[in-house]
């Protein structure tokens, strides 16, 4: 009846309404160990996540900083790294968690340092980061690590409450003062 009314008013008929797509559920995603299959996509998402976390720098400077920081770390598939990926129902990379084994300088214990937790921009807000981090914590524990360390800086500081809800505690604070804008007290 609706299309008949449209035609009477000189409007085109509407085609059938598209079927509603099912909303993605967390159970639709798969978490598994990282592999060569995902390495290129992991590196690209890692680069994008780092770009999002650095403000007020030229892109070429950020790229240089990215290369320098990552050159100091074991590769994501190195035996000293832990890489978990989360894939979409279509087998595409949705996100990843990458950590590196390090020795704690205070007590010589071995801990896992979370290098990057990243979720593809179009899939954020579904709880994938939380799910991925839960699996990463379990895997880190099963490897015999005594703790998991996550450093937050720049815009990622907004994630502090997210990490605290998962049981992380603040163990240090780094404060900076830009001396060129300093006002006398």
Contact 98, 83 (CB under 8 A): yes
pLDDT in tens, 27-44: 889 999 999 999 999 999
Domains of the chain and CATH, by start: 33-168 (3.40.630.30)
Decide: 100 and 81 in contact? Cβ < 8 Å.
yes
Q: Higher model confidence: residue 174 or residue 161?
A: 161
Taking the C-alpha atoms of residue 62 and residue 47, their distance in angstroms, rounded to an integer, is 9
Between 12 and 57, residue with greater pLDDT:
57
| Positive or negative: CA dihedral 83, 156, 46, 75 | negative
Those residues whose C-beta lies under 8 Å from the C-beta of residue 5, and which sit 6 or more positions away, are none
Q: How far, CA to CA in Å, does 23 sit from each of 20, 30, 108, 121?
A: 9, 16, 47, 17
Lowest mean pLDDT of 77-86, 95-104, 145-154, name the range: 145-154
pLDDT grade for 18, boundaries at 50, 70 and 90: very low
pLDDT of residue 20: 38
Which has the closest alpha carbon to 69: 145, 147, 134, 154? 154
- Range with lowest mean pLDDT among 81-90, 146-155, 173-182: 173-182
Q: In the prediction, which pLDDT does 181 show?
A: 65
pLDDT of residue 173: 80
Instruction: Give the pLDDT score at 16.
Output: 59
For the four alpha carbons of 154, 125, 147 and 62, in that order, the dihedral sign comes to negative
């Amino acid at each position: 009846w609706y299309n008949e009314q449209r035609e009477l008013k000189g409007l085109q008929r509407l085609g059938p309404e598209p079927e509603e797509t099912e909303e993605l559920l967390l159970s639709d995603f798969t978490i598994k160990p990282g592999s060569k299959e995902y390495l290129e996509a992991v590196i690209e998402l890692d680069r994008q996540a780092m770009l999002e976390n650095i403000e007020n720098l030229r892109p070429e400077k950020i790229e240089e900083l990215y290369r320098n920081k990552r050159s100091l770390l074991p590769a994501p598939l190195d035996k000293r790294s832990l890489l978990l990926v989360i894939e979409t129902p279509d087998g595409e990379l949705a996100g990843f968690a990458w950590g590196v084994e390090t020795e704690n300088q205070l007590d010589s214990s071995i801990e896992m340092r979370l290098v990057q937790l990243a979720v593809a921009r179009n899939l954020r807000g579904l709880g994938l980061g939380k799910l991925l981090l839960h699996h990463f914590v379990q895997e880190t524990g099963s490897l015999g690590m005594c703790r998991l360390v996550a450093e937050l800086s720049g815009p990622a500081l907004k994630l502090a409450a997210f990490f605290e809800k998962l049981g992380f505690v603040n163990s240090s604070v780094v404060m900076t003062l830009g001396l060129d804008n300093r006002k006398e007290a």
